[in-house]
Structure 1
Amino acid sequence: MSRALINKYNIAGPRYTSYPTVPYWNQDTFSLNNWKGSLVKSFKESNKSEGISLYIHLPFCESLCTFCGCNKRITKQHSVESPYINAVLKEWQLYLQLFNEKPVIKEMHLGGGTPTFFSPENLERLIKGILEDAVLAEDYEFSFEGHPNNTTKAHLEALYNLGFRRVSFGVQDYNETVQKAIHRVQPFENVKRVTELAYEVGYTSVGHDIIFGLPFQTLEHVKETILKTKELLPDRLAFYSYAHVPWIKGNGQRGFSDTDLPSAELKRAQYELGKELLAEVGYHEIGMDHFALKSDALYKSMEHGKLHRNFMGYTASKTQAMIGLGVSSISDSWYGFAQNVKGIKEYYQLLEKNMIPVYRGHILNKEDLTIRRHILNLMCGLKTEWSANNLSFPELPEALIRLKEMETDGLLTINSNSIEVTKKGQPFVRNICMAFDLLLQRKQPNTQLFSMTV
């Protein structure tokens, strides 16, 4: 990739895990009642046909990783586990009261924070409490995020016995200098241990999360990390660009200076090298920043045109409704988004009042739904069209004008009623989506809201 293209298109832009993106949510048209209504509508339309997804946020960590942009609470006091689980189960009960039938759970994911901060016994209590008043879809998928340093065989066995078959481990980078800078020291031996343990227990999909663009990270560091990853051959990989947004995430991302970070050109070289090394052993690029072996469900989903993207990233299956439980979790009814309060104390207080602990959100209008579909098409399938699916919109000609220069640069092709991202343009898919983002185009931010696209 040329330096000129990187310099030209390396601008701040959304990752598009939603549209509208969170900074452009309209609080004036949002209310808790509107959100409940949108969810009930979605549930009635889709529960029997496809079920729902659950995301459960478990925010506690024993130490702070300075690369992390997640909502987390740092503590070594494990007495926090039980009250938090009680609260999440209470929130789930409040949602159940909205429905006239048992929800069919197709997908459940435990994220954090560090889900394996919780004891196996408490995780078992949480999941059993969730499933008590629900039924499972025939093709359900349960997954969780594990920390290589504290995930035990007991964790893996307890969750396996509850139906979990996919686990992802946060690796980031194996170089000791980089690990110390991001405060995430974990030897390769720890990752090897839990990866092999997961397969031994019976997990059918093991993933590793790797990050490029970290402080002090060089091309050689990325090469070393990928070569070690190839030794273990996990089923899928998230190969993320580090999102440096300290103005949003506070002191956690200020453990190093901007000058310690690789340049945009070096970041892209890190990604291209990693991709090349992964391809040598059979990994295929999935959408943006993801890779999978042909045997993994994520690859099969891409092949069959069923890849989906939401606040959990890329998923192999889609449900119209996704409920987020726990502090800061985001729910998606397709017709609306809702985010929970971020403070644990406030979360508990609202639940004590029998209130679903939402503090902001967005109800999508007709235009939002159209643009959302285009952006999902591009992020998941690298193409979109607007005649057959009634996806035309008044400002489409202006969007195509914005894309014309990208077409000249070889990033996409514009046809009479569709566009398609080229192989050369795949690293710039976020930039291409931005041309469709009407809210962003109408009101460009005065300050930087998003990470850099390259």
Structure 2
Amino acid sequence: MNNTTASLIEKYNIPAPRYTSYPTVPLWSNDLNETSWMRLVKRAFDDFGEEEGVTLYIHLPYCESLCTYCGCNKRITKNHQVETPFIETIIQEWRKYLALFESLPKLAGIHLGGGTPTFFSAESLQEMLGFILRHARVMDNAEFSFEGHPNNTTRAHLQTLYDLGFRRVSYGIQDFDLEVQKSIHRIQPFEKVKEATEVAREIGYTSVNFDLIYGLPHQNLETIKDTFSKVALLRPDRIAYYSYAHLPSVFKSQKSFEQFLPNEQEKRSLYEKGKEILSDMGYYEIGMDHFSLPEDPLYQAKVNKKLHRNFMGYTTSPSKILIGLGNSSISDVYYAYGQNEKTIEPYKQFIGSGAYAIQKGHIMSEEDLDTRKLILELICNQQTQWAHEFFAGLSYEQLEKLNQYQGEGLLNYDQKGIQILKEGIPFIRIVCMTFDRRMQDKQEKQYGFSKAI
């Protein structure tokens, strides 16, 4: 890392949204009620459902033990009797959406997230997904994926989900160093990860993803090199190399290892080393934190400028309708966002009473739609073209920032559009904030965003 890059990182490593949505969740207007939600879901289905289909995100919140770094919505329990009532609630929630649609929905994709989806038995997942698939038409290019914990993802899980159409599995690895694993309370031997990966491939999964994190306690350049040497032996199709988000005011368990975290310069060195190793291994950078092998569809979408991004991250699916099922899950129906009640018991009560569980939301304005398009194009393609009217509408402050970024070698722009340069990719969240008018309107407020770099 040269001195110029180091000084820019120090300058721009400030809290910033990850832009899995625009506006970002803390800036939603919360102008949504059940009637308007139903109307906008139906409008989106009528406008886009037949051509693009519907993608489902199903949040399965239970975990058997607490990983202390984790910022996900989860419930820690070893009581597996919670499975059946929760699955029944998911089915009931999906029934409510089905009642809005005038025809069986086309499914463009399903993603199981959590928590730990493989906390649930293969039989429970079969019951839930079997119902969903019996009441939908699966598109030819549908992508079904799930997040698996290597310690408890069994052959039965993998075979059952494969038989239901799943072809991609994402394993949460984080790090292979034992001291790091002990510190974050997630001990999973390399042999378990190897077994889970090999069984998936043996069954027929065409895409295996590893989630890795940099900036964890006790990590250093040597441990990162060792982790990647083990990753190289298994050669997953995709790798997400995330920055650890330290928010102990929100996630109390993170305080347990605070004194062992690398400093900001050390943390960035971990990323640079990981990125260098990934490049040497033949992986290509897709966008923020994501890498893939060249034969992976994600890379092909990147090359062909058909990459998309939603609350689940980068995707090849163009579907404008993402329905979230389960507590805390977020839906994006193009015209509006909605988030379910976060806590399990009230969520189940809402659904049990025949209501939707949406407790937070945002109706998109025309300006929101234009800004979202711009930000998503920058994050997916590192470039965008804009209309003359948009350029003419940029404020003096926005132009000053763009001139500053251009002078620092992060981007080029003119009256026709903007292009992020290679040196600017690590700063892309900062560049996107330039166009985030809702954040600019509320600069006096503080939000719980992780640092940008």
Task: Give the alignment's TM-score, normalised by structure 1.
Answer: 0.97
Query: Which of the numbers 13, 16, 20 marks the counterpart of 2:19?
Result: 16
SS of structure 2 residue aligned to 1:108: strand
SS of structure 2 residue aligned to 1:79: helix
Structure 2 residue aligned with 1:419: 418
| Displacement after TM superposition at 1:265 (Å) | 1.2
Q: What are the within-5 Å matches in structure 2 for residues 434-445 of structure 1?
A: 434-445=433-444
Task: Give the alignment's TM-score, normalised by structure 2.
Answer: 0.97
Q: Deviations over 1:370-397 (max 9, x none)?
A: 1111110111000122118x75573455
Percentage of identical aligned residues: 50
State the alpha-carbon separation in 1 of the partners of residues 37 and 190 from structure 2. 45
SS of structure 1 residue aligned to 2:201: helix
State the alpha-carbon separation in 2 of the partners of residues 193 and 355 from structure 1. 43
Structure 2 residue aligned with 1:201: 203
Structure 1 residue aligned with 2:189: 187
State the alpha-carbon separation in 2 of the partners of residues 254 and 398 from structure 1. 38
| Displacement after TM superposition at 1:211 (Å) | 0.3
SS of structure 1 residue aligned to 2:50: coil
State the alpha-carbon separation in 1 of the partners of residues 376 and 398 from structure 2. 16
Contact kept? 1:367, 1:393, Cα under 8 Å: no
Contact kept? 2:239, 2:290, Cα under 8 Å: yes
State the alpha-carbon separation in 2 of the partners of residues 39 and 426 from structure 1. 34
| Displacement after TM superposition at 1:266 (Å) | 1.3
Q: What are the within-5 Å matches in structure 2 for residues 115-126 of structure 1?
A: 115-126=117-128
Range that drifts further, 437-446 or 97-106? 437-446
State the alpha-carbon separation in 1 of the partners of residues 54 and 64 from structure 2. 32
| Displacement after TM superposition at 1:443 (Å) | 1.2
Structure 2 residue aligned with 1:330: 330
SS of structure 2 residue aligned to 1:413: strand
Q: Deviations over 1:99-131 (max 9, x none)?
A: 111100011000000000011111111110111
Structure 1 residue aligned with 2:264: 264
Any gaps of 5 or more consecutive residues in structure 2? none
SS of structure 1 residue aligned to 2:15: coil
State the alpha-carbon separation in 1 of the partners of residues 392 and 438 from structure 2. 14
Aligned CA-pair RMSD: 1.3
Q: Deviations over 1:226-268 (max 9, x none)?
A: 11101100000000001112223x32322222x3211121111
Contact kept? 1:147, 1:169, Cα under 8 Å: yes
- Assess, with a 3 A threshold, how the Cα gap between structure 1 residues 108 and 449 changes in structure 2: closer, same or farther: same
SS of structure 2 residue aligned to 1:239: strand
Contact kept? 2:59, 2:328, Cα under 8 Å: yes
Structure 1 residue aligned with 2:159: 157
Structure 1 residue aligned with 2:371: 371
Q: What are the within-5 Å matches in structure 2 for residues 61-76 of structure 1?
A: 61-76=63-78
State the alpha-carbon separation in 1 of the partners of residues 423 and 346 from structure 2. 47
State the alpha-carbon separation in 2 of the partners of residues 280 and 246 from structure 1. 35
- Are 2:260 and 1:255 equivalent residues in the alignment? no
Q: Deviations over 1:383-436 (max 9, x none)?
A: 122118x75573455423222111111000112221100000000000000101
- Assess, with a 3 A threshold, how the Cα gap between structure 1 residues 157 and 244 changes in structure 2: closer, same or farther: same
Contact kept? 1:385, 1:391, Cα under 8 Å: no
Q: Deviations over 1:74-98 (max 9, x none)?
A: 0000000000000000000001111
Structure 2 residue aligned with 1:3: 6
Contact kept? 1:370, 1:393, Cα under 8 Å: no
- Are 2:383 and 1:383 equivalent residues in the alignment? yes
| Displacement after TM superposition at 1:219 (Å) | 1.3
Query: Which of the numbers 120, 137, 153 marks the counterpart of 2:139?
Result: 137
State the alpha-carbon separation in 2 of the partners of residues 241 and 119 from structure 1. 31
State the alpha-carbon separation in 1 of the partners of residues 391 and 102 from structure 2. 36
Any gaps of 5 or more consecutive residues in structure 1? none
Q: Deviations over 1:114-151 (max 9, x none)?
A: 00001111111111011111100111110000000011
| Displacement after TM superposition at 1:39 (Å) | 1.3
Counterpart residue identity of residue 67, structure 2:
C
Query: Which of the numbers 200, 217, 227 marks the counterpart of 2:229?
Result: 227
Contact kept? 2:214, 2:243, Cα under 8 Å: yes
Contact kept? 2:391, 2:415, Cα under 8 Å: no
State the alpha-carbon separation in 1 of the partners of residues 222 and 201 from structure 2. 29
Counterpart residue identity of residue 307, structure 2:
L
Contact kept? 1:236, 1:290, Cα under 8 Å: yes
- Assess, with a 3 A threshold, how the Cα gap between structure 1 residues 85 and 373 changes in structure 2: closer, same or farther: same
State the alpha-carbon separation in 2 of the partners of residues 203 and 260 from structure 1. 37
Contact kept? 2:62, 2:74, Cα under 8 Å: yes
Contact kept? 1:301, 1:317, Cα under 8 Å: no
Contact kept? 2:180, 2:219, Cα under 8 Å: yes
Contact kept? 2:26, 2:447, Cα under 8 Å: no
